[in-house]
Amino acid sequence: MSKILPFITLLVLLNPNLFNARETIETPISPTPLPYQGYPPPLDPKLVELREVILHFKSTITCDPKGVTETWCPEKSPCEYKGFYCGHPPKENHTYTVASIDFNGFGLCAPTVSGFLDKFVDLALFHVNSNNFSGTVPDVSKLRYLYELDVSNNDLSGEFPMNVFQIRDPVFVDLRYNNFCGKVPRRVFTLPLDVLFINNNAFDQRLPKNLGASPVAYLTLANNRFTGSLPTSIKKVSSTLKEVLFLNNNLTGCLPYEIGYLKKATVFDIGGNSITGQIPSSFGCLKSIQQLNLAGNLIYGEVPSEVCSLGGLRNLSLSDNYLTGIGSECESLVGTILNIDDNCIDGYPNQKSSEECDAFLSRPKHCPTIDFVPCKSCSYGKPEVPAAPPPALSPTYSALHRRLL
């Protein structure tokens, strides 16, 4: 239980409705002890079957640094095994079976979880952060109650495991730090997911044009091989999107002014790509923004004063671009929350050489300058009252670490 607590805490932060979702699943986390009926207590036939599955899986495990599988012995009930939690499936009061698997941080090595995960048809949660499981995610479409799948920080490969979405839409999918490759199916971006963490894989595709179709709140695509430009459809997620990381991909194209519609976004990060254009004035409408990272791109022009006036801003990272000036409101932020190193700004230290600046700046520029400002009628351009202290935890930046969230 203590191992899953931080996770649950995060989920509660992310999604206050999660426990409503859980109600239908009869609290799989707390292992309700079987009523004592003499020794040995009779095992549910499902548990007898699953014990075989577990013992077979145990025989394939090649490393177990914490010795957890020592508790997986043939004479015990799987409900007593470390990492397994039992409960009653919905509407089946007389069945008592494995409802949750939590191997977070166990460091187990196994060549595959096929023939294991897929056998737990009543499973609601599968959490295996920081193990060493290889192979692909098996077909889990028969796992009718599965709603959380966390396989982060393993050695899994293959395509995006789309069959996860076949029965019901899971609330939480965390695939970060694996070797998944190929394309993320377009449909994923239309699903009602709150959280999609797929950073640090080898997904290789153009950003889908329908990126804004999902009401996602936390999205990390960082450290993959996404290409193409930021879709203008991103403005459609303006009512839900809180944090998005496009960090370290191969994105190109101009900065769309539609980003200015993301009035709920606290984190927007496109660092380490090849995005170009000027910072649109519409960025002054990012009213909730705390961390804005545009560093390591091909952005030029002047930083609009309006962006520097945003009241909640804590970190505006613009280093390693081709900016040539900063608005007056920005000057006092340089060196504290604003980093403008490695640009082409006269009078500031640590800038690019004039040769490098001239070479870039003399090339023809094709990005339009769009002055449209989506929040003109409100407080655009006016310094806002400093925001309340931001929460210490940014779920998406936490997802850039391998460990459990």
Contact positions toward ligand NAG, by CB under 6 A? 63, 91, 93, 107, 109, 132, 134, 155, 248, 250, 271-272, 293, 295, 315, 317
Rounded to a whole number of angstroms, the minimum distance from the CB of residue 376 to ligand NAG is 29
Nearer of residues 100 and 248 to ligand NAG, judged by Cβ? 248
Nearer of residues 91 and 366 to ligand NAG, judged by Cβ? 91
Rounded to a whole number of angstroms, the minimum distance from the CB of residue 314 to ligand NAG is 7
Rounded to a whole number of angstroms, the minimum distance from the CB of residue 198 to ligand NAG is 16
Rounded to a whole number of angstroms, the minimum distance from the CB of residue 322 to ligand NAG is 18
Rounded to a whole number of angstroms, the minimum distance from the CB of residue 169 to ligand NAG is 26
> What is the per-residue burial (b if ≥16 Cβ within 10 Å, else e) of 335-366?
eebbbbbbbbbeebeebbeeeebeebeeeebe
Task: Please tell me the distance from the alpha carbon of residue 205 to that of residue 47, in angstroms, as a whole number.
Answer: 43
Nearer of residues 44 and 148 to ligand NAG, judged by Cβ? 44
Nearer of residues 293 and 309 to ligand NAG, judged by Cβ? 293
Nearer of residues 295 and 330 to ligand NAG, judged by Cβ? 295
Rounded to a whole number of angstroms, the minimum distance from the CB of residue 271 to ligand NAG is 6
CB 273 within 8 A of CB 255: no
CB 203 within 8 A of CB 175: no
Helices and strands counted in the chain (H then E): 6, 22
CB 217 within 8 A of CB 194: yes
Task: Please tell me the distance from the alpha carbon of residue 60 to that of residue 112, in angstroms, as a whole number.
Answer: 8
Nearer of residues 171 and 275 to ligand NAG, judged by Cβ? 275
Burial of residue 21 (number of CB atoms within 10 Å: 0-12, 13-18, 19+): middle
* SS3 state of residue 181: strand
Tell me the C-alpha to C-alpha distance, in Å, between residue 282 and each of 1, 99, 212, 230, 323. Answer: 46, 48, 18, 15, 17
